[in-house]
Amino acid sequence: MGMFDWTERPAAVLQQGGVIAPDERLPWPQTAVMGVQHVIAMFGATVLAPILMGFDPNIAILMSGVGTLIFFLITGGRVPSYLGSSFAFIGVVIAATAYAGKGPNANIGVALGGIIACGIVYAIIGAVVHAVGTGWIERFMPPVVTGAVVAVIGLNLAGIPVKNMAASNFDSWMQAVTFVCVGLVAVLTRGMVQRLLILVGLILASIIYAVLTNGLGLGKPIDFSGIAAAAWVGAPNFAAPVFSGPAMLLIAPVAIILVAENLGHIKAVTAMTGRNLDQYMGRAFIGDGVATVVSGMGGGTGVTTYAENIGVMAATKIYSTAVFLFAALIALVLGFSPKFGAVIQAIPLPVMGGVSIVVFGLIAVAGAKIWVDNRVDFSQNKNLIVAAITLVLGTGDFTLKFGAFALGGIGTATFGAILIHALLNRDTSPGVSVADAPNVETSSAQPPR
């Protein structure tokens, strides 16, 4: 069968509750509401990334919807993922365009040409993976590696809400109120309300925030003027690419980072769903690459699978790909409706930060769950060393530079975990646990290498 043969996928099976697998769905009204929750989860980062690069946020939202639909089609509706603006492009785009950091990017065309080149490279990598198979994945990424990489995806992002989304002590307290609200909804409610724990928790926290700020004047009040001023319908500011050799050479290697992110995300979803999605990895790379090309052609940022939405799946136990169809369609509407975009943007930053703490934490825990489910033996030094180094590389955002190109955080952690495990796996002797390091000198076993 062909790579994109839809006959491979039967119609989604209707389920009323419990864990919803990728090829199953809830009733359509509930599926649509779940789509709204996913849109809210991705919105903050998908809007922030283009702003930092001088791109139009409405185009980024629109292209996230288009990209998610492309991804859905190319993966045959098998892989539950949402594509949003990738932060991996920020550094190279700023370097390629000499962007000053505020307002529209005057050299956006040059950046778009580089983003398209990156998408093409990414899609080619995907085609190679699809052609040669994924046996190498299991060989190079056993549970100790995949668990560490998945955990790092959440831990690497932890500094964003903690350091950048709370400007004052009041904001920090509101973040705490928000994640407590989400926790209470998760534990004390049942049914669909519990499924919507992120959305309901966010609404409750926003109401509390409005009472404390707009009502009691304790912090920065919610500004509703943007909602009132925004038009219901409006076309985004599309832009055309300019193909510059130096910019393309600078931006194209970001494909390596996108591969690392997507690889980790698919492993995370595999662990959560219990469905092995490795066979769709090549398609997932191609889908992400094609979506990045299309985004660049219209003036959007490069896109990647989103950890925020994986966190929502971990919390709700709903992995239905049908949910992402609705989320993508909602994003298309938002792209052409500044009014709806303004509503989402009016959500207080500390509230979004509190939600992000929950979502990123759930991803980190999903990594630990891989270790538990696969009974990873941490009495073996190689497992301890691989996990220890990977977690610190990713959490500390360890960066390696290759000329103007920088590989940091999730990228160094992913490839570092694979390489270190391959190196240390040459020694199959049990050795001595690092946890027993004080006793190493008195033991006859070989010390860790």
Residue 387 covered by a domain: no
CA atoms of 367 and 355, how far apart (whole Å): 19
Q: Is the pLDDT of residue 448 over 50?
A: no
Burial label for 402, CB within 10 Å (0-12, 13-18, 19+), is exposed
Query: What's the domain count of the chain?
Result: 1
Give me the percent of the chain exceeding a pLDDT of 70: 88
Residue 11 covered by a domain: no
DSSP result, 83-96: EEE-GGGHHHHHHH
pLDDT at res. 72: 94
Query: Token pair of 444, please?
Result: 């006859």
pLDDT at res. 102: 65
If you average pLDDT over residues 98-125, what whole number do you get?
89
Question: pLDDT (tens digit, 9 = 90+) per residue, 226-237?
Answer: 888 888 888 888
Distance of CA 195 to the CA centre of its chain: 20
pLDDT at res. 69: 96
Residue 230 covered by a domain: yes
Question: pLDDT (tens digit, 9 = 90+) per residue, 256-285?
Answer: 778 877 888 888 888 888 888 888 999 999
If you average pLDDT over residues 318-342, what whole number do you get?
87
Is this structure's pTM higher than 0.75? no
Checking DSSP bridges between strand 24-25 and strand 83-85, what pairing results, if any? unpaired
Give me the percent of the chain exceeding a pLDDT of 90: 30
Question: pLDDT (tens digit, 9 = 90+) per residue, 344-367?
Answer: 778 888 888 888 788 778 778 878
- Judge contact between 285 and 123, C-beta under 8 A: yes
CA atoms of 271 and 294, how far apart (whole Å): 30
Band of residue 184 on the pLDDT scale cut at 50, 70, 90? very high
* Whole-number average pLDDT of the chain: 82
pLDDT at res. 165: 78
Q: Is the pLDDT of residue 225 over 60?
A: yes
Check residues 396 and 411 and name the one with the higher pLDDT.
396
Residue 7 covered by a domain: no
Domain that holds residue 221: 20-365
Residue 378 covered by a domain: no
Residue from 361, 135, 151, 408 nearest 267 by CA: 151
Q: Is the pLDDT of residue 437 over 60?
A: no
Residue 192 covered by a domain: yes
In one letter, which amino acid is 262?
A: N
In whole angstroms, how far apart are CA 324 and each of 65, 70, 171, 297, 351? 9, 11, 31, 23, 24
Band of residue 2 on the pLDDT scale cut at 50, 70, 90? low
Q: Is the pLDDT of residue 290 over 90?
A: yes
**Range scoring the smallest mean pLDDT among 49-63, 321-335, 400-414, 422-436:** 422-436
CA atoms of 189 and 198, how far apart (whole Å): 12
Residue 393 covered by a domain: no
pLDDT at res. 427: 54
Band of residue 42 on the pLDDT scale cut at 50, 70, 90? confident
Residue 239 covered by a domain: yes
